[in-house]
Structures are given as C-alpha cells and as structure tokens.
Structure 1
Amino acid sequence: MIATPSATSDKPVVSEAKLNTVQDTIKREMKTSFKKDLVESQKSLKDGFESQMSKLKEELSHEYEQQFKSLKGKLIQECEDRENSLKKKLTQEGEERVKSLKKFLAQENEKRITDIKFSVARENRENISNLENALANENKKNAALEKKIADLETKLDKASSEQGQKLESLVNQTHLDQCLQRLSNSQGVKFDEMKAYVNQKMDSSSYIQQLQRLELLSNSHKEKLSKFETRLNQAEDSAPKIKNLEGQLHNLSMLTKEIAQQLSNPQNEKLGEFEAALNQLKDENFAAHQLFKSQDDKLSKLDNQLGDTKSRIEDLSKLEDCVNSLADNSPRIETLVKDGRSHLEMIERKAQEFNARLTSLESMASTASVEELVNIRTEMADIDKRIQNLSPKHESPPVSTDSVRRAIWLEVEREIENKANATRLTLASVQSGLNQFLKTEREEREALEVQCAEITRQFLEAQQEATAMKSKISELNERGNDPILQQDNILKWFEEKLNSRIGAAVIELHHALEGVYMQLQALTVWQNNFSTKGLYRDILNHINATMPDGTVMQLRSLKQRMEVAETRIAACENSVSNKRRKLPSGTSRIDTGDQADA
C-alpha cells in the first residue's frame, strides 16, 4: 500500500499533482508506445500477411502455371495421340467399310445375277411351255382343220360324182332337147306347109274325110303319146329325177354357199389368228433370242424346238395356202353352181318344149307321108351324129372339175413350196444371225467369266490382307492402349492429388485468415476499450507491495527536492510565477511558487 502524508508527518509526501503528472506522462508514454506497438504490429502483421499472401499467390500462380503448362503439354500430346489414333481408326474403319461395301456390292451383284438367271430361266421355261401349249393347240386346230378339209374333200368328191352323174343325165337330156328342137323346127316348117295345103283344100269334100282321119290319127297318136309318156316315165322317170336333181342342186348350192362362207369368213379369221400367232411366235422368238444371251446351256434344246417350230410353221403355211386356195376357188365353185342352176333351168324349159313338140310331132306324124318320115329319120340320124360330135364338149364339165381340183392343188402346192422356201430362208437368216450373236455372247461370257475369276481372286487377296490388317491393328491397339491407360491413370492420380492439395491449402489459408481476423478483431476491441485506471491501480499496488520501507522516504525526499528545484527553476524563468498548469482532474491553476506540499 502507498503511504499517505497523514501517516508520517516527518516523511516527505508526494503531491497528487505530481502523481497525476507522472500518471499522465506514463499514460501518454504508454499510449504512444502502445499505439506505436499497435501500429508496428499492425504494419508487421499487414506486411507479413501481404508478403505471405503475395508469396502464396506467387507460389500458387507458379504452381498453377507449371501444372497448367504440364497439363497443357500432356493434353496436347494426348490430343495429338488421340487425333493420330482416331485418324488411324477412321482410315481403318473407312477401309473396312469400303471393303465391306465392296463385299456387299459383290454379293448383291451375285444375288442379282443369280436372280436374273433364275428369272430368265423361269421366263424361258414359261415361254417354252407357253409355246409348247400354243403349238399343241395349233396342232389340235390343224388336226381339226385337216379333218374338216378331209370332210369337205369327201363332200366335194361326193358332190362332184353326183354332179357328174346328173350332168351326164342332163347331157343326154340336152341331146334329146337338141334333137327335139331340130325336129320341131323341121316339123314346124312342114306343119306350116300342111296348114297352107289344108287351107287351100278346105272347100273340097274330101276335107271332111281327112279331118275324120286326122281325128282318128290324133286319137291313135294320143294313145301312142300316152304310151310313150308311160314308157318315158317307166324308163327315165324324168320328172321326179328332175325334181330330185333340183333338190340336190339346191342342196349343193347351199353347201357351196356354206363352204364359201366358211372359207371366206372363218378362214379369214383363222388366217388372221394364224398370222397373229405367227407374229406372236416371231415376237416370242425375238424375246427368246434376247433372253438366250444369258443362257447358253439351253441353246441346244431351243434349237431343237426351233426345228420343230420350223416344221410346224411350214405345216401352218401349207394349211394357210390350202385355205387361201380354197377361198380363191370359192367364187369358181359359186360360178359353177350358178351355171348348173341356169343349165337346169334351160333343161326344164327344153323338156317342156320337148313334151309340147312330141305332142305336135305325134299329131303331125299321123298326117305325114312316108317320105317325110324318112326325112325325119335322116334328120334325126344327122342330129344324133352332131350330138355325138358335140357330146365331148358337153361331157367336159366333170373332167373340168377334176382338172380344176388338180390345178387348185398344184397351185396350192406351189404356193406352199414358195412360202416354205421363204420361211426356210428367213429361218436360215435368223439362225445364222443367232449363231453369230451366240458366238459373240459366248466370247463375251467367257471374257466376263475370266474377269469374274480375276475379281474373285483379287477379292480373296484383299480379304486375306484385311484379316491380316485387322489382326495387326488389334495388336497395335492392345499395345497402344496399355501406355495410354497408364497415362490416363497417372493424370487422374495427379488431378486428384492436385485437387486435394488445393483444397487443403484453401482450408489452411481460410483458417489462418480466420485467426488473423480474430486477432485483429480482438486488437480493435482492446484498442477501443483501453483505459489506464486499472493499470495504474495495479502498478501502485505492485509498487506498494514490492517497495521497501526506506525507499518511500527516499522517494518523498526526492519529490520534495524536485518540487523545490522546479519552483526555483520556475522562479528563475518567470519572475512572477503565474504559469498555468493542467491538473489531472482537468482544471487549471496558477502556480505561484509558494505551494504547499502535499
């Protein structure tokens, strides 16, 4: 404890003003020193923090730059390596794709070629089957036509034979008609003379007798005519025969019309069908020739079939010629039928005239004389001779029918031969052209086979090279993948380590900054809340506790001396001591020098 002045009056007592001044000086010194220390500490802290931060920044930037450079170099190397590897892979993949595309295209071409071959073979088979069916149908049609033609020929033969018989009977009747005409002409003249003679002797008495005789003769002649008619009916049966002939001729005319129609309309249609079939066969042959380019194996079969078709075409051409000839001969047959009809009409007329003349001759014969009858007989003999001379002319029609038929068949055969020769020439030209075309196609096919073999060989070599390259590439990839994986692992480890270090450094710096911030905050708080009362009290307590007893007295004496010295100095400096001094309490007083000691 500090001794007060009242405790010992003898000891010098330190004044409060001095203590206050001491305290003020101490406080000032402490403040100034503390401020200086604070400023220095703050500066040192700031400088150290800034230096450390700059060092850390420099170190971190340097490390970052080094790491960035190393990473950049590694990344550039990796990028270059990866680019090279990608280029190699892309080139390899492109080559593999090109090879695969070549393989795929070759396979597709082979498949297409096989499909085309199969389709062509199928089409050829179908065409061949269709041609065979068409040829079979044409053969059937030809057989039916041949049968029809044979039937028509038989009918024509029968009709011609019947017409020959009828024409013979008609010729005989014409002979009789001619004889009757001559007789009628001669007897007509005589009958006119007799009429004139009768007219001259009408007035005579014997005329009545002659008329009676004529009546008797007419009756007898009528009986004779009736007998003659009965004989004619019994011998010739001319009327029913004529009727039968008319009916047969009518039937013949109908048959000829039907034949002409059948030969004109259906045969023209059949000819058109045959021509269309021939055109189709030509088109099919042309298509077959085009399709035969890719099928050399079936050429022999097709050649045989072509030979068959040639023969069948010749048969068809012959049939066509026959039909054409029949169609051409149809108007001749019609003219013959018309002539027959007109001839039959003439025969009917002449038969009627013959009957009338017979009656007239019988009537005239009763009145005719012997000389006249002899003349009539001689005339009849002459008529018979003339008829015999003319008979070959009248008997020519049956011969003419056979000759016409023979001429028709000769013309048909000639036309058939001409058409057959023309078809043979065309087929020979087609065959020669086909042979040349097939030779060229065989040569081209052989060249293509050689090229295909070469391509397959090159393809196999390329495939082997591709397999070898694939194995090499796989080995190189395996070899290159090991260091790449190692480098990737090293980079990953380095990145992890760098990230961990950066994180630790950031955490440490954060903690250090937090500590510095706490220290600065404590210093600011201490600075703001700083006061010397407690310090001064503690100092006094310490002094009182540690100071010995003699020192107090010495201090008091020293204080008094100091005061005396101060007063003297003040007195010396200022004659009148009215210096204002600042007290610790803040008030000012005038020091006179006669101050009492505390």
Structure 2
Amino acid sequence: MSPDPLKSRNTQQGFHLKFGGGRKRDSIHGDSSQRQAGDGPSKPKRNRPVNRADERSSAAQRDRIEKPVPTAPASHKSRQPGNPIKSQASDRSSSITASILRPVLDSVCERMTWFQARHKHSKILDRSREIQEQSHYNPSDYPGSADLLVDQEQQIREEIENANQRIAFTDETIAAALQPLLQQVSEACAKSCNPSKASEEQAVLEAKLAAVSITLKKEAQDSIEQESAGLQQKLQELVESHMVKLKDAIDLETEQKQEKKLNNKLHSLRKTLTQEAEDRATNLRKTLAHDFEKRVAEMEETIIQRHKKKIDQLEKSLAEANLKNAKLHDSLKSLEARFDQAASEQGRLLKSLVDETQLSQKLQQLSVSKDEKLSKLEARLESLPNHASKLEQLEEDMREHSKFIEKKAEQQDEASTRLEALESTSSKAFEEVKKIKEHVQSLGSSHKSATALTDRQILEVIRPELDKSDEKLKNGIQRIQDGLTPFLSKERASREALESQLEDISGQLSELQSESSTTKTKLSGFAEDSNKNRHLVIEGMKSLENEVNGRLDLVTSELKSITRVPKPDFELSRDAYEGICLQLQALDNWQNHFNTRGLFKEIVAYIQNALPESARMKIDRLEARLTAFENSFSQKRRKLPGSNAAMVNGHQQDSA
C-alpha cells in the first residue's frame, strides 16, 4: 500500500506552523548542501500547488529567515496564557533543531515521492503484463505491437530500478542526517544531569513537546477526517458495486440450476469435440505426412528416371561414338599399313621396271587392293553420316583412280602385245639366223674352196635386225616408264590427300570426344543443380509441414484451454462452443478440399525468384546445349516442360 499523500502534506503543514515559511522555499529550491548536481532525480518532481492561508509567509518573515542567524517568526510561536517569553538559548536550540530536522524532512519527502513513483510504475507494469496476456490470445492487427509492449515494459523496469536506487540513496541520507539529531539528544540527556541547567532545558523541551503534540493532534485529526471521508466514499462505492454484484448473483443463482445441466452437456460435448479434433488433427498429420512422403518419393523417382534416361542415352551415344572412333582408328591403321605396303611396292616397281611380269602382277595387286580399299572405305564411310561431302569427294577420287588404273591396264595390255610381237619377231629373226647358218654351212660343204663365214660376219649381217628389235624394246619400256611416273605421282598425291582427310576426320572425332566429356561434366552439374532444387523443395515442404503442425498445435491448445478454463457466463461458453464448431467445420472443409496445386506453384515461384539471374541463364544454356547434343545424335526432339504444361498433384505433365 502506498502512503497517503495527505499525511505527508499534514506533516509538512505542521512543520511550517513550527519553523516558519523557510521550509517551503527550501523544499521548492532544494538544499544545496545535501543535494549535489549528480544526485538529483532523472525526472523533475511533480509540482504540488499548495493554496493554504496558514502556510503563507510574508516578505518580512522571508527576510528574517535569510539573515545569518534565523529565528522563528512571531506569528508561528505558540504563546499560551501564563507562559513567559523564551530566552535566547531556547531560540538558539530551536534554530539548531530546525537546521538538523530540515534535511531529514527533505530526504523523507524525497523518499515519499520516489516511493509513489515506484508504486505508479509497478501498477503500469502490472497493467502492461495484463495487456500482453490478453494480446497473446487476441493478437492485434498492428504488427509491431508486441515489440512496442516489450520496449515499454523494459522502460518501466528501468524506471522502477532507478526509483529503488533513489530510495536507497535517500535512506542513506536520512540515516546520515539523523546522526547529528541523535547526538544532540544524547548531549541534551548528558546536560540534563546538571541541576542548574536541567530546569531551563526541561521547560524548553516541554514547550517544544507541547507545540509538537498540538500540531500532531491537529494533523492526525485532519488526516483521520479526510481518511474517514475517503473511506466512507469508498465503502459506499464498494457497497453499491457489491449490491449490483449481489443482485446479479441472486439472478444467476436462479439460473445456475438450469445451467448446471447445460454445463454438464457442454462439458461432455467439449470432451467429444476435443477428442474428435485431436483425432482429426492426428489423422490430418498422418495423411499429410504420408502424402508428403509419397509426393517427395514420386518427385525423386521421376527426376531420377529422367536423369537416368538422359544419362543412358548419352552413354549409349558416347559408346557408339567410341566404337566409331575405334573403327576409324583401326581403318586408319590398316590404311597406313596398306599405304606403307603400296610405297614399298612402288619402290620395288621402280627397281624392277624391266620385269614386265612383275609389273603386271603388281598392277593387278594394286587394282585388287584399290577395289578392296574402295569397298571397305565405302562400307566404313556409310557409318559416318556427318561426312557425306567428304565421302563424295573420296568416291570421286577413287573413281578417277580406278579409271586411271584401267587406262594403265590397257596400256599394259598394249605393251604386252607389243612385247609378244617383238618376241615373235625375235624368234623369227633367230630362226632366220639359224637358216642362214645352215645355208652357210651347206654352202661351205658344197664349196670348200670358198672362205668360211665367221661369227663376226654373221653378227654383222644380223646386227641391224637386232638393233631394230632393241630399239623397239627400249621404246616400249620408255613408254611404260613415262606412263608409270605420272601414275605414281598421282597415286602419291591421292594418298597424301587421303591422309590429310583422315587426319581431319580424326581431329573431328577428338573434338566429338571433348564435346562428349564437356557434356558429361555439364550433365553432372545439371544433376547437382537438380539435387539442390530437390533439397529446396524438400525444405519448403518441411517448413510447410512445421507450419501446419504449429497451427494444429495452436488449435489443440486453444481447445484444451477452452475446456480447462471455467466460463462464468452461459453466453460466453456458448460463443466459445460456436467458435469451436466453426473451426472444426473449417478444418473439415480444408481437409476435404485439400489440394497442393497452389502450394507447388508457390514453391516453383519461390525457387524461380530465389535463383539468381546467372544460375537461371546457366540452366537455360545447359538445356539448349542438351537439346542440340541430343538432336546431333538423333532426330527425335526432347520435349521440355513448357509454360502451358498442366500441374496435376504437384507434377508437371507434358502436353502430348
């Protein structure tokens, strides 16, 4: 209970009656000796206007008080009939007691003000707590109301702490100010032992005590009268309020008997409703958790299947490309080996140009090897659809080479016919030479006298024919050499062109391999991004589940609080019952018409908004590259999910 301010005013009034108007001025301006600059209160005191005629002092009295030795004014001295005027010693003792009591009363008044301030702040704190408790069950529309209440409570606590500190400080000052008064009392007691001064001091003390007792009686009477008046008013108000409450209670007592039955029914209904609400909440949680797990599992399976299909297709395409590369490398090795064989055969041909049989055999082998190469190259080049132009050029070159080989075969046939003709002429010439020898021998046998023909003479006769045949052979061989040199040069040029083309093909294959490796890395990055997106979706679903669980917990807690708290009025319990029924209907409607279409749309929109532009551009580029890469291996176009695709149970379906 806070002290009554009227008591403090009455005590102050008595002090003014005793010690004059200087107390009022000092209480307003403060005592400079007791209160320092840093010891003052943080807030100014509340000015209390005093409009009492008995506390007002004249200017002459204030002038007397401001003198170095203050004396009590004559108007305030208690003069009774039969008492003599006090001596100068009694005036000095009264001034000393006034100077001692003044800081004590100042500190007491200051303590009262701080005590009242603390009491006021404690009431405000209790009121703010009640408001917070009410706002916990009935939240306001203003979003920052909770923070404002917390800040207000913190400020009030600081004010209470400051008031406690100031009260402790004033207690210390009161104790320090009472020490000289106690010392004076002890000295007075010690002096009272002297019989000469005891009578005078006793008279002074008795006069003071009489004045103080009179003032205290007056103040007590005034305060008692005021308190009694206030108590009478309060009692009247309380009686009126209690009478109203009693009337209401009497009215309620007649209805309580009927309400008991209804309350019992309501209690049973509440129990059933709470049980049904808890059962439905648990069922909702289970169904939501089960649906959520199913949806997440289906989404994971669909994403994994899509990525597996893409990865399998890419692996198949890479395996086919690797097989093609291996075949091409094998064909390159075989071609190089054959080219080496052809080069060695060309060297042998150059060494053995005179041997016509070897030339014919090698030409036949070359034609056969060319045909085989052409057939093999055609079979292998059919497996490379991207090099159609180069294959056509190679086919044209091979056709030209085959035509050139046919021409050379015809020339070889002509040369062989000529050689056969030369052989026949040479055989005829040898036969003629034999005939000539026989004729010469016959002539020698018949004509012994004639000179014998020598071999030299025979050779001289046969030499022109032999020279002619040698010239014919040399001319034929020269023609064969002249025809073979351009053929070999063309063959070398075509071989070099084929080697360059094969090098280009190998470079393209290496580029394809590098592109396949880059696509693998991109696919791995895309898989990581999809995993991140899946984790984001899972986190969003978890947060949604936590929010739904929190709301269900709030509903169940409210239902439990409604069942626990007794309702004094029938109308309030009925309103609560209707609110519970409406909440249960809303929950049932929400459960029956639950759909995740909007939820998944919001999740997709949140992911799209949360992703930065750079990540979005990277994903678009990866999709474009994937489509291009898939189109390069197969003409079938992959169908990406477009903006017009429909969402069914959280999954995006294709339009086809």
TM-score, structure 1 as length reference: 0.29
Higher Cα Rg, which structure: 1
TM-score w.r.t. the length of structure 2 is 0.27
- Greater relative contact order, per chain length (Cα 8 Å cut-off, separation 6+): 1
